[in-house]
Amino acid sequence: MAAAVVASALACSAAVAAEPRLPAQPAPSNSAAAQYGKKVAVCAVTAAGKQHTIQLLSKGVPAYLGTHPTAHIGSCVRPRRAKLNVCVKLTRVKYVALYVPVKQLKAYLKRNAGSFRTSTGKCTRPR
């Protein structure tokens, strides 16, 4: 009977050891960070077509991107010599050229109906 108890305890400890462990999360630097979470940079586009970076809480980013389809995660800073690579439809007739990081380009175009890629940095309406 004792051998069965020892065998079941060893099997249980082996199962626990086999579970993957998550890395320890660093402690927040202050109580506000613990309460509200980490901030994330989001590039927002105004109605006039200007880009500006805003800081949002990580919890609010999905909701913000859901209501602002022209925004994307990351800073609005464009790398040196990078051309404007996307034309975004702001109104029925107004398009504006923006820079979107290449890694996010496919998802950005999918989320923004009427937007298209441009290689020249200028928006000529597609026919």
Residues 113 and 99: beta-carbon distance below 8 Å: no
Distance in angstroms (rounded) separating the CA atoms of residues 105 and 72 = 10
**The pTM is what?**
0.62
What DSSP state is assigned to residue 19? S
Between residues 11 and 44, the one the model is more confident about: 44
Q: What is the mean pLDDT of the chain?
A: 78
Let me know: does 99 contact 49? Beta carbons within 8 Å. Answer: no
Please report, rounded to a whole number, the percentage of residues in the chain having pLDDT higher than 70.
69
What DSSP character marks residue 70?
T
CA-based nearest residue to 27, from 16, 38, 11, 13? 38
Mean pLDDT of 78-94: 85
Whether residue 20 has pLDDT greater than 90: no
pLDDT score at 8:
55
E strands, the chain, in order: 39-45, 51-57, 72-73, 86-89, 95-98, 116-117
37's tokens: 């979470």
Please state which of the ranges 32-36, 90-94, 111-115 shows the lowest mean pLDDT: 32-36
Q: Which of 30-34, 63-67, 77-81, 102-106 has the lowest mean pLDDT?
A: 30-34
